[in-house]
Amino acid sequence: MRPVARPVSGHFSVDVMTAWLDAVAHRLGTENADLRNARGQVLAEDIRAARSIPPLDRAALDGFAVRADASLGAGAYNPLELLAVAVAAGDDLPEGMDAVVPVDRTEANSPGRIVVVEPVAPGDNVELQGATAPAGAALVPAGMRLAARHLGMLAQAGLTRLPVIRRPRVRLRLVKPAQPDGWTDSNGPMILAAIERDGGVVDEPIAVGRSQVAIRDALVNVDSDLVLVAGGTGPGIDDHSAAALAEGGELAIHGVALRPGETTGFGRTGDGVPVVLLPGTPAACLWSYELFAGRAIRRLGGRDPGLPYRSREMTVARKIVSAIGMTEICPVRCGAGDAVAPLPSFAETGLMAAVAADGFVIVPEASEGYPQGARVTVYLYEGS
Amino acid sequence: MRPVARPVSGHFSVDVMTAWLDAVAHRLGTENADLRNARGQVLAEDIRAARSIPPLDRAALDGFAVRADASLGAGAYNPLELLAVAVAAGDDLPEGMDAVVPVDRTEANSPGRIVVVEPVAPGDNVELQGATAPAGAALVPAGMRLAARHLGMLAQAGLTRLPVIRRPRVRLRLVKPAQPDGWTDSNGPMILAAIERDGGVVDEPIAVGRSQVAIRDALVNVDSDLVLVAGGTGPGIDDHSAAALAEGGELAIHGVALRPGETTGFGRTGDGVPVVLLPGTPAACLWSYELFAGRAIRRLGGRDPGLPYRSREMTVARKIVSAIGMTEICPVRCGAGDAVAPLPSFAETGLMAAVAADGFVIVPEASEGYPQGARVTVYLYEGS
């Protein structure tokens, strides 16, 4: 792919951009994490049980361990006294015992003895050795994002440290606007939060001057896995991000058929670290992140690379219009049943469109939108 | 409700327990959070725009600001030269200008002038004052869990600190087993991870001895919003959690018709802080947390109190059996289409049931389960 300099106007399709990105953003290596800090991390290797869980037969509840065969013939008219050992749930079964009589089903008759009025079967109220997992059994597979239940299971298996995929380190640089007086940066906290959501580790973003030199300097000595530069991607005379990347490394692609997000760029630093140039306009910055930068971070970290939103098929209640030749993100609101209707676009209301929406529809490049009654895939924001 | 001492065997329904819990766990107060650290926090107040966004008309893209009426009559055969000011996307529109000609649609003819070959309409490529939000407009409502897009919008509105609901502080105490040699605690990391998921703040859990005195001591000087004690809730002679709570404060309920989780207890410390006694058996501990303790934390923190899993109606492919009189959590695996089938129960395989499952079905107390072909609500683990 030849670098495309200005003007930038969506030469490349979202699919081409995605393919380029997927070719440069590979799953990172493994590191060991303390099990107590591993929530949300991605397991790097299959974990198997080193020994049986439980390691021996044990009491499943509080009661008295007995030999089942000694209870043969017990009944209401034939109470039998058995040798018994008081056990708590989880205690190993004493040698020679093979069943547990619940504490509320009997009484200790004399020390070390109980009376039963019904027979006990071997294994009653016993958690057999290996019942949770026999030695060697698969516990949690590689690729799993660790949740509370996995951590409990792996702790029970005796692990205290876990092999996890290293979290991607991201450098975030914000190009100051041409008129920086009274500048309120909204891209920094927004993208920071999205990087954290996607499992990346990011330092405080640093604002850089709106010059080719300043931006190029932000692309050297990179100890991160990905560099994001927000702003300065347009065709204006003050826009130098693409030129700075071309000078300092490689500008692979500039300009995507994505709305919002047309001026997105991709490339590599001189050291080969992938770079995504995010547009400075907040809504465009958000969507360029969601579709491209976020995808790269999710891939690096071993997560599902898809958009981190659940999706659902819904019915268009009012037509959704989109320009042909551009992939367009359309904010939508859900109505009764499975109805969905468009909201004013990102071009009209900026970030407010994302805040007001219940979710969004991605209208592909080849489509002019969807008529009323069409079925569409809707990505839903949490809580919608 | 009278305290119920041992034996405990599910005297109270899950609904009664939930109602008790909801009556004591109220939304906490408000604190101010740095916007940059507010991801996932719950907004405590409606936020409105203090001023219009954008505050003035501004350029929507890079180009030249012009007066639209000066372009009247322009055409391919009647190119017109206009007074123009170069602007970058986001720049305020210069005084007297009301439209922007994109940089790639014209050329600077001479300093301060461009040539156009078509008329320009007022407002073309201009982001009008208040287009994102007029002054006073609602931006983000109270109760919203803040995601990247909200933080971007609120930063754009000029906020740097946000009123959020204080995160619940949770004290977690683990009762050591009767045989603590070689004890591998799995409840600590599991519940710690679940508390974090639900927005609670928790210190390192502390293990306490299996005595009434030690457990009672864990219930004093509580500076938390909720106390969780895991273990020692059963009817055995070594189980003292319920007695310790009754002695040190109030034991309101002990014993729930929940499987796993029958020995769950509820009450308050002497200072009135809600206490949940979690069973020590890992699977019972998990489910008692999910249904009760987690619900309390989610309520305290202003989140949706429901289970933090998405749910879906599915069709039973192989019958799901449950004991009548007990609410039972049944681990399930999803098949083709919307088919769902039971896995071996928590009683049989412990925590492994949660790790092996795609999700779970909650069979209510009054039900014996579901026959093949029945429609059931399935709670799905992420990624399933």
pLDDT of residue B91: 86
- Chain A residues lying within 8 Å of B190, measured CB to CB: 148-149, 151-152, 155
Identify the band that residue B5 occupies on the pLDDT scale cut at 50, 70 and 90.
very low
Domain segments of chain B as ranges = 14-28+167-300, 32-53+131-165, 58-127, 311-380
CB B231 within 8 A of CB B175: yes
Q: Comparing C-alpha atoms, which of B159, B238, B19 is closest to residue A91?
A: B238
Name the maximum alpha-carbon separation found in chain B.
101
Looking at CA atoms only, how far is residue A47 from chain B in angstroms?
Answer: 12
Check CB contact under 8 Å for B355 and A92: no
Average pLDDT over residues B144-171: 97
* Cα-based distances in Å from B102 to A235, A278, B5, B106, B124: 9, 20, 78, 7, 9
Would you state the pLDDT for residue B4? Answer: 38
- pTM for the whole structure: 0.93
**pLDDT tens for each residue of B246-303:** 999 999 999 999 999 999 999 999 999 999 999 999 999 999 999 999 999 999 999 9
A209: which 2 tokens?
């001057």
DSSP state at residue B179: S
What would the pLDDT profile of B50-88 be if each residue is shown by its tens digit?
999 999 999 988 889 999 999 999 998 999 999 999 888
The whole-number pLDDT of residue B11 equals 76
Q: Helix or strand or coil: residue B260?
A: coil
B85-135 pLDDT, tens per residue? 988 888 889 999 999 998 877 776 678 899 999 999 999 999 999 999 999
CB contact (8 A) between residue A349 and residue B132: yes
End-to-end CA gap in chain B:
40
Is A32-53+131-165 a CATH 3.90.105.10 domain?
yes
What residues contact A193, with CB distance under 8 A and at least 6 apart?
A: B39, B146, B147, B148, B151
Contact A241, A229 (CB under 8 A): yes
Return per-residue pLDDT of chain A as tens, 384 residues.
Answer: 333 344 344 479 999 999 999 999 999 999 999 999 999 999 999 999 999 999 999 998 888 999 999 999 999 999 999 999 988 888 889 999 999 998 877 776 678 899 999 999 999 999 999 999 999 999 999 999 999 999 999 999 999 999 999 999 999 999 998 777 777 789 999 999 999 999 999 988 899 999 999 999 999 988 999 999 999 998 888 889 999 999 999 999 999 999 999 999 999 999 999 999 999 999 999 999 999 999 999 999 999 999 999 999 999 999 999 989 999 999 999 999 999 999 999 999 999 999 999 999 999 999 999 999 999 999 999 876
From A139, A149, A236, residue closest to B103, measured CB to CB: A236
- Give the bridge partners for B329, in sequence order: B362
Contact A278, A246 (CB under 8 A): no
Does A350 sit within 8 Å of B152, measured CB to CB? Answer: no
Work out how many CB contacts closer than 8 A connect A with B.
Answer: 227
Residue B343 main-chain phi, psi, to 5 deg: -105, 170
B311-380 carries CATH number 3.30.70.360: no
Beta carbons of A132 and B352 less than 8 Å apart:
yes
Query: How many angstroms separate the Cα of B172 from the Cα of each of A221, A298, B238?
Result: 44, 33, 20
Burial of A204 (0-12, 13-18, 19+ CB in 10 A): exposed
pLDDT tens for B193-245 read 999 999 999 988 899 999 999 999 999 988 999 999 999 998 888 889 999 99
SS (H, E, C) chain A: CCCCCCCCCCCECHHHHHHHHHHHCCCCCEEEEEHHHCCCCEECCCEECCCCECCCCEECCCEEEECHHHHCCCECCECEEEECEEECCCCECCCCCCEEEEHHHCCEEECCEEEECCCCCCCCCEECCCCCECCCCEEECCCCECCHHHHHHHHHCCCCEEEEECCCEEEEEEECCCCCCCCCCCHHHHHHHHHHHCCCEECCCEEECCCHHHHHHCCCCCCCCEEEEECCCCCCCCCCHHHHHHHHEEEEEECECEECCCCCEEEEECCCCEEEEECCCHHHHHHHHHHHHHHHHHHHCCCCCCCCCEEEEEEECCCEECCCCCEEEEEEEECCCCEEEECCCHHHHCCHHHHHCCEEEEECCCCCEECCCCEEEEEECCCC
Q: Do A145 and B383 touch (CB under 8 A)?
A: yes
Of residues B104, B140, B382, nearest to A9 (C-beta): B104
- Report yes or no: B147 at the A interface, CB cutoff 8 Å: yes
Chain B nearest C-alpha distance from A370 (Å): 25
pLDDT digits (tens, 9 = 90+) for B247-263: 999 999 999 999 999 99
Q: How far apart are CA A297 and CA A25, in angstroms?
A: 8
Does CATH place domain B58-127 in 3.80.30.20?
Answer: no
Q: CA of A353: which chain B residue's CA is closest?
A: B132
Output the pLDDT for position A313: 96
CB contact B179 to A (< 8 Å)? yes
Q: Best mutation site among B4, B51, B153 for testing chain A: the one with the most A CBs within 10 Å?
A: B153
**What Å distances lie between residue A352 and A283, B125, B134, B228, B342, CA to CA?**
9, 18, 11, 41, 44
Q: What is the pLDDT of residues B308-362, one digit of tens each?
A: 999 999 999 999 999 899 999 999 999 999 999 999 999 999 999 999 999 999 9
Cis (ω within 30 of 0) for the bond into A260? yes
Cα of A73 to nearest chain B Cα, Å: 27
Q: Looking at the domain covering B14-28+167-300, what would its CATH class be?
A: alpha beta
Asked if A92 has any chain B CB less than 8 Å from its own CB, the reply is yes
Task: Give the chain B residue nearest A7 (alpha carbons).
Answer: B104
For A58, half-sphere exposure in the C-beta direction (CA atoms, 13 angstrom radius) is 19
Q: Using CB atoms within 10 Å of the CB of residue A16, give its burial: 0 to 12 exposed, 13 to 18 middle, 19+ buried.
A: middle
Contact B352 A186 (CB under 8 A): no
Q: Please indicate if any CB of chain A lies within 8 Å of the CB of B188.
A: yes
A356: nearest Cα among B366, B219, B89, B144: B144
Q: Which of A60, A146, A236 sits opposite B62 (nearest CB)?
A: A236
> Looking at residue A2, what is its pLDDT?
39
Helix pair B148-156, A187-197: axis angle to 10 deg: 170
What does each C-alpha distance from A94 to A7, A86, A110, A368, B185 come to in angstroms?
Answer: 81, 10, 19, 74, 22
Question: Of B355, B380, B199, whose CA–CA distance to B283 is shortest?
Answer: B355
Contact A383 B151 (CB under 8 A): no
* A149/B280 touch (CB, cutoff 8 Å), yes or no: no
pLDDT value of residue A109: 65
- Give A208's strand partners: A175
Partners of B285 on chain A (C-beta within 8 Å) are 152
Q: How far A193 CA sits from the closest chain B CA (Å)?
A: 5
The structural architecture, per CATH, of the domain A310-380 is Beta Barrel (2.40)
